[in-house]
Amino acid sequence: MSAVLVINSGSSSFKYQLIEMASEQTLASGLIERIGETTGASTHKCRDAAETFTRDLPIPDHTAGFAIMLAAFEEHGPSLAAHPPVVVGHRVVHGGARFYEPTLITPQVERDIDDLSELAPLHNPGALQGIIAAEKAFPDVPHVAVFDTAFHQTLPPAAFTYAINADLAERYRVRRYGFHGTSHQYVANAAARFLERPVGELDQIVLHLGNGASVCAVRGGESVETSMGMTPLEGLVMGTRSGDIDPGALFHLHRKAGLGIDDLDTLLNRGSGLLGLTGHGDMRDVVDAAQAGSAQAQLALDVYVHRLKAYIGAYTAQLGRLDVVSFTAGVGENSDVVRRLALEGLEVLGIRIDAERNAARSRQARVISTDDSPVTVLVVPTDEELEIARQSLSLASAD
C-alpha cells in the first residue's frame, strides 16, 4: 500500500492530505493556519472518525506547523507508521517558463522557485517555506513540486504573447502563463473518462469557477488557451479580483484618484470582483441578494455571466469545434443559477441545457445537457490534491 502526502502551502497556512493511492481514498486531511500570529489553529480530520479535531495554539513558523501536523496524526490517526508517505507532493503556484512538468525538488529547484517569487510574490515564498519545513519533517522520501502553471506550457506563442515591446517583455518575463492548471488537467481527463472517450479526441472547455476563476480550452488533452495571464488577475470576474480591465483605467485612477501602485494592486486583487461590486465576495450571498431584489447584486451576476459567455464563445472559436464543456470548483459545482445563466442562449454553439438535470444536486460527475445537445455539458468535481498525488507518485515511481 502506498500513501502520498500532499501539501498546499501559503505564507501563513498550509493544507495537507494523506491519500492512499491504491484506492485513491483520502485517509486524513487538515489545515494549519495563522502561522506566525499570536494564536494559530490546527484542524485534522481522519477518514475513520466522524469528528474534526481542532486546536488553537501558537504556531511560530512552518516547521512548528509540521510538528503539530505529525502530532495530530499520532493522536487522532491514521498512524503514519502504518501508512508512511512514499512521496510528498507540493503545490507550487508559479513555475514560470522553466517548469513544465512535476519536478523532483533539489536545492537548485528550490533556488528556482525562489527566483520565480518575483513573478508570484503572494504565492511562491509560502510554498518554498512549506517545502523546506516538510523536508525536515520527512527527510527520507522524495519531495515533488507540481506547478499550477505547468499544464499551460502547451499554449502556442499566439496565445501567450502580450502585444507590448518584445525586448522589455523578454527581459522581464512578461507573458501569459495561466493558472489552475492542475484542476483543468484533472477535469479534462475526468470528463473524458466519464464519457468513455479518449481525451486525445476531444475539444473541451473547462470552467474552473471558484473564489479564483479561469477558463481553459483543451485540445486533445493539452491546454491551448486560458484566461489567466502573467498573474492570476486576468480573465473572469472572481470573488475579489477584477479579471479583465482596460489598463488605461489604472493610469486614470493613478492620475485622478491619486492611487499608487500598491493601492491599485490591492484594489484589483482584493477589493474588486463580486466583493467590489456588491460588498459580498461569496457567490452564494450575491445570488441570494439578487433573488431578494438587490439591483446591485443582479448587476454583479450579470457582469459575471456576461464575461463567462464571451470567453465560451471566444474559446469555441479558437478550438474550431467543441465536444464538452465542464463546470468545476465551488461556484461551478454548486450554482445551478450561474450555470444556467452562463449557457442560456448558447444554442447557436450547440449547447443545450436540461433544466432539471442542471438543478439536481450531486457530488458526482454528471451530464446537465439534453440528450440531443451537440455539445455535452458536464459538472465535474475537481480534485487538485488527488491530481498532485498522482503526478508525484508517478514521478517518484519512475525514478
- Site residues (vs ligand AMP, CB under 6 A): 210-211, 239, 282-284, 287, 329-331, 334-335
> 279: left (phi > 0), else alpha (psi -120 to 50), else beta?
left
**61 is a catalytic site residue:** no
Nearer residue to ligand AMP within complex by CB, 193 or 284: 284
Is 115 annotated to bind a ligand? Reply is: no
Q: Which candidate, 187, 99, 143, places its Cα nearest to that of 9?
A: 143
Residue 91, marked binder? yes
Contacts of 9 (CB under 8 A, 6+ apart): 62, 90, 91, 126, 127, 129, 130, 131
Task: Tell me if residue 32 falls in helix, strand or coil.
Answer: strand
Provide, rounded to whole angstroms, the least separation between the CB of residue 317 and ligand AMP.
27
Report helix, strand or coil for 299: helix
Residue written as grid cell 503514519: 80
What minimum distance in Å lies between the beta carbon of 154 and ligand AMP?
Answer: 24
The residue from 112, 114, 148, 371 that is catalytic is: 148
In the bound state with ligand AMP, the residue whose beta carbon lies nearer, of 244 and 285, is: 285
Looking at the Cβ atoms of 11 and 278, the one nearer to ligand AMP is 278
Residue among 282 and 354 whose Cβ is closer to ligand AMP: 282
283 is in an annotated binding site: yes
Q: Is 224 annotated as a binding residue?
A: no
Instruction: Check the annotation: does 210 bind a ligand.
Output: yes
Least gap, CB of 362 to ligand AMP (angstroms): 13
Percent of residues in the chain assigned helix, strand, coil, to nearest 5: 45, 20, 35
Nearer to ligand AMP (CB atom), residue 160 or residue 327: 327
330 is in an annotated binding site: yes
What is the bridge-based pairing of β-strands 203-209 and 103-104? unpaired
C-alpha 398/C-alpha 159 separation (Å) is 32
How far is it, in rounded angstroms, from Cα 20 to Cα 27? 7
Shortest distance (Å) from residue 285 CB to ligand AMP: 8
239 is in an annotated binding site: no
Tell me the C-alpha distance between 199 and 27, whole Å: 29
Closest by alpha carbon to 152, among 94, 212, 89? 94
Task: Round to whole Å and give the CA distance between 235 and 244.
Answer: 5
Q: Is 209 annotated as a binding residue?
A: yes
CB of 289 to ligand AMP, least distance (A): 12
Nearer to ligand AMP, 161 or 211 (CB): 211
**Cα dist from 103 to 87, 110, 186, 393, whole Å:** 12, 11, 18, 11
62 closest CA partner among 8, 120, 109, 121? 8
Nearest approach, Cβ of residue 371 and ligand AMP (Å)? 26
Contact 34, 13 (CB under 8 A): yes
CB-based burial, 223-260: b 16+ in 10 Å, e otherwise: bbbbbbbbbbbbbbbbbbbbbeeeeeebeebeeeeebe
State which residue has the least CB distance to ligand AMP.
Answer: 330
Binding positions for substrate: 91
Binding positions: 8, 15, 91, 208-212, 282-284, 330-334, 384
Binding positions for Mg(2+): 8, 384
Active site residues: 148
